[in-house]
Amino acid sequence: MLNKHHMERLHIMFAVCLVLFAVLIGRMVYLQLWRGDYYTQQADGNRLRQSKIIAPRGLILDSQGRELVNNLPGYAVALQKQSSYDPAMLQKLSELLNIPLTDINKQIKESKNYYEPIRLKGNLSPELVTKIEENRRDMPDVLLEVQPIRNYLYKEFAVHALGYVGEVSSYEIEQGLFKDVTQGSIVGKAGLEQSYDKYLRGEDGAFMEEVDVAGNVVKHFDTVQPVPGKNLKLTINYDLQMTLEKFIDQHLAYLRSSGLAPNARAAAVVAIDPRNGAVRAMVSRPGYDPNLFVHGISVNAWNKINDDPNYPMNNKVITGEYPPGSTFKIVTGSAAFELDKVRLDEMIYDGGFHPLVPTMGNAEGEVLGWLSFIKALAMSDNVYFYELGYRVGIDNIAKYAGIYGFGQPTGIDLDGESTGLVASKKVKWDIWHEDWRLGDTFNAAIGQGFNLATPMQLAVMLSCVANGGIRYQPYLVDSILNADGSMYMTPERAAGKHIDISQRTLDYMQQGMSATTQEGGTASYFQSLPRKVAGKTGTAENSHGRDHGLFVAYGPVEAPELVVVAIVEQGGFGTSAAGPIVYKVFEEHFREEGLLPPENAQDNKKN
Amino acid sequence: MDLKRILRNLDWWLIGAVLLLMGSGLLLIDSATHSFAVSTGKAWHVERQGIFMVIALLLAAFSLRFDYRILKNYATRLYIANIVLLVAVMVFGISQLGAQRWIQIGSFSFQPSEFAKVFLIICLAAFMEKRIEWLETFRDYLPVFAYILLPFVLVMKQPDLGTSLTFIAILLGMIFVSGFKFNWFAKLGVLFVAMLPAFWMILKDYQKNRIRVFLNPELDPFGSGYHVIQSKIAIGSGGLLGKGWLAGTQSQLNFLPENHTDFIFAVVGEEFGFVGSMFIILLYMIIIWRGITIALNAEDDFGTLLAVGVTSMFMFHIMVNIGMTVGIMPVTGVPLPFLSYGVSSLLTNVMLVAILLNIKLRDRKLQF
């Protein structure tokens, strides 16, 4: 039983509680009565002003470590969060920045974070910075924040691979597309800038100042240093890419002016290393200058890009879906050999059309007579491949297309890749609600009809042929480096996958493609290169105009180092429209290896 | 007991103080969530808090029918239920602000660690009452410590530093009144200091930071130091009479985060000034005074221990919460009884008051 002694304990407890209350009351007297004026001033005049130190984005370097994208110093203007603002000051700010007062008020109202300044405008011009500085005394709540500006050194250079940055939109914030962003943050909007944003962005720092009513800094609190973003080292080689871009522009101009292809304005070219999937060059035309977006693109410039019927913003290497045309004959041929539906020495007769569907024949009605596989592939005979398509059937064509990677994303480290389409009975039913016919199989066998592929998919297919049947995931980023240049990490990549096609079949494909670039093949001008290059022409039917010219190649044949795919929209035949571009890539590649003398004799407009 | 007798023997001081606090709470929550309510067109927080106040008061009134002593019979079951709930929150709980403290049932979510405080007070009172005759030496108290170890560790793991420290406050209050010697407290103190490094190790990083920042708020003027700096500015700028209801610039402009829950006292200070703050503190003093008086006059040791546990808990919450808003206590996330928004804590606190009233109804004076 608790006794009197314990009752005493309760009295002590009450005394302790009273002492504690006295402490609280004392503290309230101190805060509210003794220091009340000081805190009132703090609440009114204010007080704490936080400024962000924006972390510089990581650099983007080429395969040799040369800078492609860096940052220039710049400024952003922001408004310190306040309980109320001087209307005269807001008015002045609105005039200086040329932002309507209602917009500024709206931003103030919508800003949720309680101490984050309200970012009003980034990438200020130097004149504007000076003007704001001059008026600083009248605008104590206005902050100038140092904000690095993204700088794409070579403008259009590799723009579709690099992408561009811009201010994060409220939609992107709401959707949670980026981690740790606030209004006004700069994020990647396309290309590698987007897909590697979390590495490139870095962590912003901050410092806080206590300011009196007049805007004078009374006290400076510790600074949180920004952490710069990581650098990306690409697989793209500056020299190869630059030479290629220049040549493509020149070549497209030539195609247009010579009358060969008056509408040849769009193209997609990619070069990858078949030994690992590294992308050495990637060009999509037309292009655009990403620096335009960094500075907040003008309406005129935007309209010009947006209204261009050739979609400059699209990276046609991964989003352009084209009928693969005759390059697809590799799939049909592989299916036929794998399923033992044809022998290498078997001769098939081309009488200009296929007897089962007499309306379908060769381009321009050619009659090539008795053909073996090698010759049929080299000369890109259609009738021969109709017959193979007939023998293996559409289901098997679709199956082998899948094995080579068609109809699925290649997994390259860019966002927004298209999957293409593999012709099948189901696809036709889904689109047209019609039954499959033999003519559809014929079309599919030569890469027309329902088949659609991106240039990147074609490059992956060709790599499989060139490297003996290993499918690699193509990639643009070789490694991610720390700001000091040391290694941070190698991006995760799927290991190369052995595809289910025999070496014998791949040998036949290689032989057929080698013959293409030999005397009598469709691209015999490749013989002038110092090493043997194997290729395949293609012509993709285009219902909107002239056909797209397509050329795929790998080389050197003995030990392939490069796979190149080029497509010129509305370029006509592949051998004249796309072939020279591929030729140029190999020429530059062999020149780098010292197999050709340094650039001298002006180029090779062979057709 | 007939109604007349109940009404005559209710502790009207206590009831009055609690009702006044709850009424003030509604006003303050309305003010603290004003901008939210305006932007959504619905005073969601106030309505919800108000509805649960009515529910809590009805439950409390109903509970007076039963003699509090029957709680003794349920002590073991309550202890087990407590453990089950705390384990459940670890397994099924949902995380918020970095800690896993909530259990969601349908659209209703609650914080088992709030109810754990009630359970712990009841279980501990029953446990100690049974052994009260044998609590002679320091060793005799070891089972008592062992008894609360498991719930303590479970709450610590959530992590909920505020509630685990509340457990300790309850324990200290109850053993103090049961006659725990002063030099034993010194012993415990030494033990505590010796264990500090180990304790520091199990704290989460954010908790360590809060303590570091408490020792030097300028270490982190953006994070938890920011709360305290802004809260002090709010309270200080309230001056003698305050800026008036809904007129606090700090509170209304969201300079003060979480001002409807943990930092509600800053709204009192800013909008109602020193006078308003003193009024609130006075009401709390009344609650503590009545709690201790009820403990003194309780019919049995169980009643005394219960009342002491309840009073200790209230005192701890008041001191730590207000102390935090005025910058003399670290930020631990302890709500202010009857004022802070929060349904679980409201139900808990009203039930604890009901227990005090119950003890008073059946106290010694009544027998004569």
Nearest CB to A27: which of B221, B226, B328?
B328
HSE-CB at A483 with a 13 A cutoff on CA atoms is 14
**Tokens describing residue A136:** 């600083």
pLDDT bucket at A602, cuts 50 / 70 / 90: very low
Which of A11, A12, A16, A17 is most worth mutating to test chain B (most B CB atoms within 10 A of its CB)? A17
> Which of A534, A538, A575, A536 minimizes the C-alpha distance to A555?
A534
For the cut 90, the answer to whether the pLDDT of residue A471 exceeds it is yes
Is residue B295 within 8 A of residue B304, CB to CB? The reply is yes
Alpha helices in A262-381 (DSSP H): 291-294, 299-307, 316-319, 329-338, 373-378
User: Span A296-316, mean pLDDT?
Assistant: 85
**Tokens describing residue A234:** 């690409």
For the cut 50, the answer to whether the pLDDT of residue A338 exceeds it is yes
Q: Measured between beta carbons, which residues in chain A are less than 8 angstroms from residue B315?
A: 17, 20
Which of A11, A13, A32, A39 is most worth mutating to test chain B (most B CB atoms within 10 A of its CB)? A32
CA distance A172 to chain B (A): 22
CA distance A158 to chain B (A): 41
Is residue A317 within 8 A of residue A284, CB to CB? The reply is yes
Q: Measured between beta carbons, which residues in chain B are less than 8 angstroms from residue A117?
A: none
3-state secondary structure chain B: CCHHHHHHHCCHHHHHHHHHHHHHHHHHHHHHCHHHHHHHCCCHHHHHHHHHHHHHHHHHHHHCCCCHHHHHHHHHHHHHHHHHHHHHHHHHCEEECCEEEEEEECCEEECHHHHHHHHHHHHHHHHHHHHHHHCCCHHHHHHHHHHHHHHHHHHHHCCCHHHHHHHHHHHHHHHHHCCCCHHHHHHHHHHHHHHHHHHHHHCCHHHHHHHHHHHCHHHCCCCHHHHHHHHHHHHHHHCCCCCCCCCCHHHHCCCCCCCCCCCHHHHHHHHHHHHHHHHHHHHHHHHHHHHHHHHHHCCCHHHHHHHHHHHHHHHHHHHHHHHHHCCCCCCCCCCCCCCCCCHHHHHHHHHHHHHHHHHHHCCHHHHC
The per-residue pLDDT for A52 is 73
For the cut 60, the answer to whether the pLDDT of residue B135 exceeds it is yes
Which of A7, A11, A13, A79 is most worth mutating to test chain B (most B CB atoms within 10 A of its CB)? A13
Nearest CB to B236: which of A1, A5, A32?
A32
Q: Measured between beta carbons, which residues in chain A are less than 8 angstroms from residue B230?
A: 48
Q: Measured between beta carbons, which residues in chain B are less than 8 angstroms from residue A224?
A: 222
Nearest CB to B315: which of A9, A20, A27?
A20
Contact check, Cβ <8 Å, A222/B221: yes
CA distance A215 to chain B (A): 18
Which of B38, B228, B237 is most worth mutating to test chain A (most A CB atoms within 10 A of its CB)? B237
CA distance A294 to chain B (A): 30
pLDDT bucket at B191, cuts 50 / 70 / 90: confident
| DSSP secondary structure code for residue A33 in this structure | I
> Which of B355, B281, B235, B234 minimizes the C-alpha distance to B24?
B281
Burial of B58 (0-12, 13-18, 19+ CB in 10 A): exposed
For the cut 90, the answer to whether the pLDDT of residue A417 exceeds it is yes
Is residue A322 within 8 A of residue A567, CB to CB? The reply is yes
For the cut 50, the answer to whether the pLDDT of residue A604 exceeds it is no
The per-residue pLDDT for A132 is 84
Which of B135, B326, B359 is most worth mutating to test chain A (most A CB atoms within 10 A of its CB)? B326
Identify the three-state secondary structure at position A182: coil
The mean pLDDT value of chain B amounts to 85
Q: How far apart are CA B276 and CA B278, in angstroms?
A: 5
Mode of pairing for the β-strands spanning A67-72 and A149-152: antiparallel
Contact check, Cβ <8 Å, A48/B237: no
Q: Measured between beta carbons, which residues in chain B are less than 8 angstroms from residue A12?
A: 176
pTM comes to: 0.61
Please list, in sequence order, all residues whose beta carbon lies within 8 angstroms of the beta carbon of residue A358, skipping any fewer than 6 positions away.
Answer: none
For the cut 70, the answer to whether the pLDDT of residue B240 exceeds it is yes
Give the number of other CB atoms < 10 A from CB of residue A97. 18
Q: Measured between beta carbons, which residues in chain A are less than 8 angstroms from residue B257?
A: 114
Cα–Cα separations (whole angstroms), residue B368 to A526, B28, B65, B159, B363: 118, 44, 21, 49, 10
Contact check, Cβ <8 Å, B235/A23: no
% of chain A residues with pLDDT over 70: 91
The per-residue pLDDT for B217 is 59
- In chain A the first and final C-alpha atoms are separated, in Å, by 111
Contact check, Cβ <8 Å, A14/B288: yes
Angle between helices A87-97 and A126-134 (to 10 degrees): 160
Q: Measured between beta carbons, which residues in chain B are less than 8 angstroms from residue A27?
A: 323, 326-328
The per-residue pLDDT for A219 is 67
Give the number of other CB atoms < 10 A from CB of residue A170. 9
**Tokens 């340094």 sit on residue:** A598
User: Bridge-partner residues for A233, per DSSP?
Assistant: A61, A479
The per-residue pLDDT for A15 is 95
Q: Measured between beta carbons, which residues in chain A are less than 8 angstroms from residue B253?
A: 81, 83, 114
Is residue B29 within 8 A of residue B264, CB to CB? The reply is yes
pLDDT bucket at B367, cuts 50 / 70 / 90: very low
Identify the three-state secondary structure at position A487: strand
pLDDT bucket at B255, cuts 50 / 70 / 90: low
The per-residue pLDDT for A606 is 41
Give the phi and the psi of residue B94 in degrees, each rounded to 5.
Answer: -110, 145
Is residue A281 within 8 A of residue A247, CB to CB? The reply is no
Contact check, Cβ <8 Å, B308/A13: yes
Question: Which fold would CATH assign to domain A238-592?
Answer: Beta-lactamase (3.40.710)
> Which of B130, B141, B139 minimizes the C-alpha distance to B172?
B141
Please list, in sequence order, all residues whose beta carbon lies within 8 angstroms of the beta carbon of residue A12, skipping any fewer than 6 positions away.
Answer: B176
**Tokens describing residue A503:** 């070496």
Q: Measured between beta carbons, which residues in chain B are less than 8 angstroms from residue A25?
A: 278, 281
CA distance B65 to chain A (A): 26
Q: How far apart are CA A408 and CA A425, in angstroms?
A: 18
Instruction: Count interface pairs A-B at CB distance under 8 A.
Output: 145
pLDDT bucket at A185, cuts 50 / 70 / 90: confident
Q: Is the peptide bond before A474 cis (omega within 30 degrees of 0)?
A: no
- In chain B the first and final C-alpha atoms are separated, in Å, by 15
Q: How far is CA A552 from the centre of its chain?
A: 22
User: Span A17-34, mean pLDDT?
Assistant: 94
Q: Measured between beta carbons, which residues in chain B are less than 8 angstroms from residue A81?
A: 253, 255
The ipTM assigned to this model is 0.91
Between B71 and A215, the more confident residue is B71
Q: How many residues can be counted in chain B?
A: 368
User: Span A70-88, mean pLDDT?
Assistant: 79
What ranges do the domains of chain A cover? 75-80+90-147, 238-592
User: Span A436-454, mean pLDDT?
Assistant: 88
Most confident of the ranges B2-16, B62-76, B147-161: B62-76
User: Span A24-53, mean pLDDT?
Assistant: 79
**Tokens describing residue A53:** 């130190």
For the cut 90, the answer to whether the pLDDT of residue A242 exceeds it is yes
Q: What is the side-by-side order of every strand in the sheet holding A149-152?
A: A149-152, A67-72, A60-61, A231-234, A477-481, A487-489
> Which of A232, A316, A278 minimizes the C-alpha distance to A412?
A278
Q: How far apart are CA B310 and CA A441, in angstroms?
A: 84
CA distance B219 to chain A (A): 7
User: Bridge-partner residues for A53, per DSSP?
Assistant: A205
The per-residue pLDDT for B77 is 92
Give the phi and the psi of residue B338 in degrees, each rounded to 5.
Answer: 70, -15
pLDDT bucket at A515, cuts 50 / 70 / 90: confident
The mean pLDDT value of chain A amounts to 85
What ranges do the domains of chain B cover? 3-367
Give the phi and the psi of residue A71 in degrees, each rounded to 5.
Answer: -130, 145
User: Span A473-495, mean pLDDT?
Assistant: 91
Question: B278-328 pLDDT, tens per residue?
Answer: 999 999 999 999 999 999 999 889 999 999 999 999 999 999 999 999 988
The per-residue pLDDT for A136 is 73
The chain B residue lying nearest A7, using CA atoms, is: B296
Which of A12, A18, A29, A31 is most worth mutating to test chain B (most B CB atoms within 10 A of its CB)? A31
Q: Measured between beta carbons, which residues in chain B are less than 8 angstroms from residue A48?
A: 221, 226, 229-230
% of chain B residues with pLDDT over 70: 86
User: Span B191-198, mean pLDDT?
Assistant: 82
pLDDT bucket at B368, cuts 50 / 70 / 90: very low
Q: How far apart are CA B250 and CA B234, in angstroms?
A: 6
Please list, in sequence order, all residues whose beta carbon lies within 8 angstroms of the beta carbon of residue A110, skipping any fewer than 6 positions away.
Answer: none
> Which of B322, B330, B248 minimizes the C-alpha distance to B278?
B322
